[in-house]
Amino acid sequence: MTERRQVLVTGYGAVTPLGHSAEETWTAMLAGRSGIDTVDAIDVTGLGVRIGGQVRGFTPGRYMPPTVSRRADPYAQYALAAALEACEHAGLVIDDRLAPRVAVVIGSGYGPVGSIYRAANTLRDKGPRAISPFTQVTTAMDSAVGEISMRLGAQGPSRAQSTACASGADAVGAGMRMISHGEADIVLAGGADACVTAVDLAGSGNARALSRRNDDPAAACRPFDAHRDGFVMSEGAAVVVLEAAEVAGRRGAAVLAELAGYGASSDAHHWTAPHPEGRGARLAVEAALRDAGISGADVDYVNAHGTGTLLNDAMETAVLRKVLGDRVTRIPVSSTKSMTGHMIGAAGAVELVASIQALRTGDVPPTINCDQPIDPDINFVPHRAQHHKRLRVALSNSFGFGGHNAALVVRAV
C-alpha cells in the first residue's frame, strides 16, 4: 500500500462581508466587527427578513477583464478573486510543468442563483431571443470552477461540489483526498455563494431559519446565546492552496498549516433540522479526528459551525461534549458566523482560514453577541478575541441542510 501523502496549506484568499481579502477579513474578526447590515443591493420591500451579510464595494475589474465579469455570476467572481489571492499568497505560478497536476474544487450551496433568476425574468419579459448564449454555462454550478481553471491554466481535474452549508469544507476535503491518493499535486479548493437574494431571503425566512432582528442587524447573529433566533444569510468566497509536502518543498513554498484530517457524513433524518442527537455531526467529527490520527483530547481550538439557530447550536454543543469530553471546557470554541453571517457554501472555507490563522498567531476570534451562553462551562470566546499561548490543532465544523456534515482538522507546522 502506497504511503499517504502529507497535505499542506500554502496560501489562501477570501472575499467576505468583512473584507475583500483574507487579511482584511481576519483583522475584522479579531476586532469583533460585524459585517451584517440592512440589505441594500436588492429590493427587500415586503420581505420578513431584510438583513444579510453583503460583500460591499467589490470591484470585479480589479480581478478580471470585462468579458469575464459581464458573464460571471457574483458567486463566480468572488471565487475567482479569492483564488487569485490564494495563488499570490502561495507564490504559485501555474506553468506548463505544473498545470496537468493542478486541480480545482469549488463548493457552493446555491451556485449562480442571481444569474438564474435574471435569466428567467429576461425570458418572461423579453422572450427567448434576449437570452445570452453564455446562459447555459454561466448559470451552471460549475461556472466558478471553469472561470478559475481557465484563468489560471489549471489542467488537472476540476469539480463543483454541492452539499449545502458543508460545501466549502467538503470541497477542501475532496482536494485533500486528491493529493493524498496521487490524483493531483496541487489543488485550489474552497467555496463560494452569493445568495442574498429576495427569493432566498423569502424562502429561508418562511422556513423560520433566519433571524428577524431587522432593527438591530449587527446583533442578529447570536451563536450559542440563549436568545438566538436564527442565522443570517450572507455571501462570499474563500480558496486555499493545498499542496503535497514534497511539491511545496521543491517550490520552497511557505507552509501555513497541515491539513491533517477530514470527515463527512449524512444525518439521513430531515431536510432542515439536524438529527436531535447529532448522530451525523458526531460521525463527521469523529471521522476527521480519526483521519488525523488524533483524539478529542488533542484539539486546542474549535471553529464551530455555530449558526445561531435554536436546534443547531444545542446539537453542536452536545456533540462537542460527547466527542471532546472534558477537553471542551478547557479550550476556546468560537463561531465566526457571528460576524460574517452564514456564507453557506463559502462558510467552511472561510472558517478553515480563520482556524489556520488562530494556529499561526495564537489569537482566537470571538463569538460576538454571545451574552448568555447556553453552556456556561464552555469558553465560547464571547465578545472579544482571546490570545492562547499554545494552539497546535484546530477543528472546523460545517453542518448543512439535507443532513450534510463535514469536519476538517488542521495542525500547526
At residue 3 the predicted structure's pLDDT band, cuts being 50, 70 and 90, is confident
342 is catalytic: yes
Q: Cβ(191)–Cβ(107) under 8 Å?
A: yes
Q: Tens digits of per-residue pLDDT, 64-93?
A: 999 999 999 999 999 999 999 999 999 999
Residue 1 has pLDDT above 60, yes or no: no
Q: Cβ(391)–Cβ(300) under 8 Å?
A: yes
Distance CA 287, CA 265 (A): 9
Residue of 236, 198, 230, 214 lying closest to 24 (CA atoms)? 236
Residue 168 has pLDDT above 80, yes or no: yes
20, 87, 89, 165: which one is catalytic? 165
221, 342, 370, 404: which one is catalytic? 342
pLDDT for the residue 235: 98
Q: Tens digits of per-residue pLDDT, 110-133?
A: 999 999 999 999 999 999 999 999
Q: Tens digits of per-residue pLDDT, 18-41?
A: 999 999 999 999 999 999 999 999
Residue 178 has pLDDT above 50, yes or no: yes
- Region 379-396 average pLDDT: 97
Residue with cell 451556485: 111
pLDDT for the residue 2: 63
Distance CA 399, CA 302 (A): 14
Distance CA 65, CA 260 (A): 37
Backbone angles phi, psi at 359, to 5 degrees: -65, -40
Percent of the chain scored above 70 by pLDDT?
100
270 is catalytic: no
404 is catalytic: no
At residue 271 the predicted structure's pLDDT band, cuts being 50, 70 and 90, is confident
- Region 284-309 average pLDDT: 98
pTM beyond 0.95: the answer is yes
Mean pLDDT of the chain: 96
Distance CA 398, CA 384 (A): 23
20, 275, 305, 404: which one is catalytic? 305
